[in-house]
A and B are shown apart, each in its own frame.
Chain A
Amino acid sequence: METINNIEACINANLIEKGSLGKFIFRDNANQWFIFYKKGNVFEIEYLKYGFWRHFKTIFTDRRQIYEAQDIFYGGTSGKFDDTLLKLFDILQRIGRRTPKNEFRFFNKAEYMWDLYALPFSIDSLRELQSTLLNSTEISDDQINKGALVTHGIFISVNCVGRVNPQSNAHPNGDGLSRREVRSRLSSFELARREDGSPLAVEKVLVKLPSRIM
């Protein structure tokens, strides 16, 4: 767990822009998603009741891909998806509060833009996981049989790409791009979006990166 915690701390402190978020989230075999976080010297669990990760099987059909959602919190001109995106933003801020060296929680959804990347991974079979665990002395057979197994994981990276309004002050590290400019910048990725530019749904926003940049 220390390794995961250190990796998260390094990513958040050194590799991503201020206002971004990098975090591992996991799923047990009862389909509950959760994060680990360190409180003092002890690791604790926080369950995540909402989020696109709940549709893991539908979204992440190929686990070897990196999935991307550009301008993730923009719900299009209709505002139809605003509630969904607000809920997603709120839960990501909660995750941010539990993440070492992270400032995502201090950023306003209306003022900045973020691209989201997801790296899904999961076991091939429960039997294989159980057999790996049976060889471990760190867990009892009883616990394995009770079925508290962690079967899926995602590393999510919510990358701040700049301010929404080009007239406002520039992002500390960004370039004050307008949504139109960002769209134009991202058009080469051939995103599957509706005609009005809104995402189909949170879970459908995630699209595979095109092969040329994989």
Chain B
Amino acid sequence: MEIHIFRSATENLVEVCADQTTKIIELNKPKQRKVGKKLLTAKVNKDLGGGQLEGLKRNTKDILALPHEEYMEFLRDLRDILNYHKDYFLSKVTIYFNRVTQQDIEK
């Protein structure tokens, strides 16, 4: 049960962040930029909050990652998940660690 919670929590987190990245990339595709600066500005403001607009303008062509604040938000969530599930997470890692080291010994 707990592994499911951990897996879904972390994977959902990564997926949500990846979706957001996709959204940002979509917003910066050339054809979508043709909708006009005003519309784009409004959409970006709606989707991301006004604070990131400057960053988006600067990297219009090449954004391939989350903006800094979004990434920090991701790290905060990841930290919370890791700390909440640390015992279970490290116990699973221990199991794999033993499995891998055992394989090495057998080799």
Contacts and interface: CB of A to CB of B under 8 A. Distances in A.
A127 to B, nearest CB: 11
Interface residues of B, number: 43
Interface of A: 1, 3-4, 6-7, 10-11, 14-18, 20, 26, 28, 34, 36, 42-45, 63-66, 117, 119, 121-124, 128-129, 132-133, 136, 138-139, 143, 148-153, 155, 157, 159, 172-173, 175, 213-214
Overall SS of chain B's interface: helix
A214 B65 CA distance: 21
B7 A3 contact: yes
B11 A20 contact: no
25 contacts: A1-B96, A3-B6, A3-B11, A7-B10, A14-B22, A15-B14, A16-B65, A17-B65, A18-B64, A28-B97, A36-B93, A42-B103, A64-B79, A65-B79, A66-B75, A123-B86, A128-B87, A129-B87, A132-B87, A136-B91, A139-B95, A143-B102, A148-B98, A153-B93, A155-B79
Contacts of B14: 6-7, 10-11, 14-15
Overall SS of chain A's interface: mixed
B57 to A, nearest CB: 11
A143 B98 contact: yes
